[in-house]
Structure 1
Amino acid sequence: MDFLLRGDAPFEDELWEKIDEIVVKKAKEQLVGRKFIPIYGPLGAGVQNININLYNVNNDTVISSNGEEDTELVKVQNRRYVEIPMIFKDFFISWRDVENSKQTGLPLDLAPVAITAAACAHKENQVIFFGDEEWGYKGLMNVDGRQTMEKNNWNEGENAFSDMVAGLEKLVRKGFYGPYVLVVSPDLYAQLQRIQPGTGKLELERIRELINGNVYQTPILGQNKAVLLEKGMENMDLVIGQDLITGYIGPEKLNHVFRILETILLRIKRPESIVTFE
């Protein structure tokens, strides 16, 4: 990976290993979409474009003795080629901090690495759930063709559970039978932490059992938002060209400038596999 220019940096391999360790740790802590969206790649940093397919699917099948009957094909309804965008953010390490670490033997403070990696992870989450208006990309919460529901007040009665039942019904009617994932904003996640009278269970537990899947929370959704979907590579995937990595930009007035970057694209192939609660 010569494009990272690590060989130009006056650092030992040990420091790069520590930087990489921090970046991976932050990614695992904060990336929500990767917990349930299949990964396509990594394809390589040089791959700049990828196709997005929308599929025309009719679940009707044929029972036959000789297989001569016609059946509707599962095929690409629409295909377009788009650019895989790059997410990046730069950080700075002082030459004095580097020299102090060398002279005293104390570890170099790598807080800028963690802060920058967290910012990149935040941006990836944002792109997955809301896309990017400037690039014309859509996310889970605003993709055209998704199913939508008006959300009831989850602080009252069994509204949260009832909304999930209605959401599952929408998906099943379209032929999506699971496995399912629910992602909610932090305020809604807090509202699910109450015991439903007569059940002895938290609303969260009841919903997990209902959808037979995981429930995640993320501040990216803002407030009072949720999305229920059927996961699977036939519905969506996350294209990764270059996964999160750190490169060396170069010296600037004796100090050192680095860049954390990745190239990613969410491909939603069957938007009707998504139900948003708004």
Structure 2
Amino acid sequence: MANNYLGRDDAPIEASTWKLIDDMMVQAAKSQIAGRRILPIEGPYGFGLKAIPMGDYAVEDGIIGSTAIPMTMIRTEFSLAKRDLASFERDHLVLDTTPVACAAMDAAAKEDRIVFSGLAGISGLLNTDGAGSLT
């Protein structure tokens, strides 16, 4: 389902080329991420997850409120030249996946910055008082 929003079916790129790109992206990101090594972080969940419901609470008699944790989307961009993709698929020339790796490492760095330093209303691990309370 996540591929519906990526436009992969609209691109004239072979499945094996998408696999190469995906594998490079995962490998590059895993080489950089630190937060996921020390915290049980799950995901990615896809574009549709904007908040995680946390439950209800009584505002006053007969009125119930709800809380949710807003989800931050991390985004990076890269491009690969059409001619490079075509020569890779047609002539089996080496495809330079450096832009893919750089984008994945950038996304990993952004995730770690959020995990450790926080972001606009979201506390990070380094923003605690040492007793686990957020400052």
| TM-score under structure 2 length normalisation | 0.77
Structure 2 CA distance for aligned equivalents of residues 87 and 6 of structure 1: 20
- 1:116 and 2:116 are equivalent in the alignment: no
Structure 2 CA distance for aligned equivalents of residues 50 and 91 of structure 1: 29
**Contact 2:29–2:101, Cα closer than 8 Å, also in 1:** no
Residue of structure 2 in register with 1:141 after alignment: 126
Higher helix share: 2
Residue of structure 2 in register with 1:49 after alignment: 51
Q: Show structure 2 runs of 5+ residues with no match.
A: 56-65
| TM-score under structure 1 length normalisation | 0.40
**Contact 2:14–2:89, Cα closer than 8 Å, also in 1:** no
Provide, for residues 90-118 of structure 1, a one-character-per-residue CA deviation record: whole Å limited to 9, x for no partner.
11111222233345321221111001101
Structure 1 CA distance for aligned equivalents of residues 82 and 15 of structure 2: 18
Once the two structures are TM-superposed, the CA of residue 44 in structure 1 deviates from its matched residue by 4.6
Give the alignment of 1:164-183 within 5 angstroms.
Answer: none
Closer, same or farther in 2 for the Cα pair 1:22/1:40, shift >3 Å? Answer: closer
Give the alignment of 1:152-171 within 5 angstroms.
Answer: none
Once the two structures are TM-superposed, the CA of residue 52 in structure 1 deviates from its matched residue by 5.9
Give the alignment of 1:104-253 within 5 angstroms.
Answer: 104-133=91-120, 136-143=121-128, 146-147=129-130
Select the structure of larger CA radius of gyration.
Answer: 1
Percent identity reads 36
Structure 2 CA distance for aligned equivalents of residues 95 and 25 of structure 1: 23
Structure 1 CA distance for aligned equivalents of residues 36 and 95 of structure 2: 30
Structure 2 CA distance for aligned equivalents of residues 4 and 52 of structure 1: 29
Structure 1 CA distance for aligned equivalents of residues 6 and 89 of structure 2: 24
- Number of corresponding residues: 122
Q: Which amino acid is 1:85 matched to?
A: T
Higher strand share: 1
- Root-mean-square deviation (CA), in Å? 2.4
24, 49, 54: which is aligned to 1:22? 24
Structure 2 CA distance for aligned equivalents of residues 27 and 6 of structure 1: 21
Once the two structures are TM-superposed, the CA of residue 46 in structure 1 deviates from its matched residue by 1.6
Residue of structure 1 in register with 2:69 after alignment: 82
Q: Secondary structure of the residue that 1:18 maps to in structure 2?
A: helix
Q: Which amino acid is 1:36 matched to?
A: I
Residue of structure 2 in register with 1:99 after alignment: 86
Q: Which amino acid is 1:125 matched to?
A: D
Q: Which amino acid is 1:4 matched to?
A: L
Structure 1 CA distance for aligned equivalents of residues 90 and 43 of structure 2: 42
Residue of structure 2 in register with 1:230 after alignment: none
Closer, same or farther in 2 for the Cα pair 1:120/1:139, shift >3 Å? Answer: same
Structure 2 CA distance for aligned equivalents of residues 107 and 22 of structure 1: 14
Residue of structure 1 in register with 2:41 after alignment: 39
Provide, for residues 112-165 of structure 1, a one-character-per-residue CA deviation record: whole Å limited to 9, x for no partner.
1001101100110001001113xx21111114xx22xxxxxxxxxxxxxxxxxx
Q: Which amino acid is 1:17 matched to?
A: K
**Contact 2:28–2:101, Cα closer than 8 Å, also in 1:** yes
